[in-house]
Amino acid sequence: MKFYSGVSFRMYWFYLRMIQNGHMKFIYPEIEQGYKSKDSKRQNADLANASTAYTQAYLPCGYILSTQIDEDILDRYRAEKWLMLIGSVDNQSDLQSSYAFMKNIIGYDLAGFFNRNSSILKEEVDRVLRILL
């Protein structure tokens, strides 16, 4: 079964087993709210860093907190064997959803945190924006 631009589903499970057995570690080059930039220099730098990470037994992983990522960018990273986790609360796949991964693999309900604290977070963002503007 193929999964994400020619990467097999089995390969991702292999990566997760390697991590669980201590043979591979995660690397998060950036945790993003969204990723809309089509800046090729940024993408090329990320991919170059990932090549180095592989040699040190790190799995390149993009952790996006929202669903705001261009499909072309997503396809490019996945084609380079990155595990890309996207901020969908509806998707319960540990290999696709950043929130499912956090809840099921790490053991913390990040979506629940945001739901419980949304009013506080909104108030703080509003306060900071009023100060800046």
Taking only the tens place, the pLDDT of each residue in 105-129 is 888 899 999 999 999 989 998 999 9
- Measured CA to CA, the distance from residue 92 to residue 99 in angstroms comes to 8
**Pair of tokens at residue 60:** 């390149």
Cβ pair 46, 13 in contact under 8 A:
no
Each residue's pLDDT tens digit, 35-75: 766 778 878 888 887 787 777 777 788 888 888 888 888 88
The letter for the amino acid at 80 is E
- Measured CA to CA, the distance from residue 104 to residue 22 in angstroms comes to 18
Domain boundaries of the chain, sorted by first residue: 2-108
